[in-house]
Chain A
């Protein structure tokens, strides 16, 4: 049986959770940016009408 090895476990979880968090934040920020510009577009359109 392999004893110890906790630092490998901790590293794997840190990389996974960190990687997923970075992905989630990037996706969310990008989506927020485009949603903001789409709202500005809608506001401009309703102002023009």
Chain B
């Protein structure tokens, strides 16, 4: 098995296996989305006007909650040294880890975005665009999240620090994703979001790999 396929299988299995598995971020996403109408009041008109974009807040928080241990565990148990010895370039390994995270967390949350958006009063015809934009946005969040997780891998209890570092970078996907969910559908906002998501997930691993090389020095 190639090193990349092995990394993917290992990470995917770890995420499904440990600490409540991938169900935990999914549950977190649903829980955060449930708090939205509780904060806004159950009034129908208010939710129709402002509810659907708030899917994005729940999704962003769910990603943040998974980032802290992403590279910390690899640094502690020596997996990171193995990655560096591997014939595959570190950038590709990091990209693979990101892909595994997307499959374990990003995809389920994007799919769960459909019922959540409907519950937040999104019109049915918008739901396909919301689900697809969530999938792309999660790729962007994870791409930036890799950088945040990599630069803080050596910091004990770095969870809040990661959030502080990563949140400003979440602004563009949130802006365009919310526009999609707010009624723009498959318009220019969707295309810009797709560009953002792909750019972040392409550039994130390069910066993250550079940071990880320093962590093992």
Complex A–B touching at CB under 8 A:
no
Chain B residues near A (Cβ < 8 Å)? none
Chain A residues near B (Cβ < 8 Å)? none
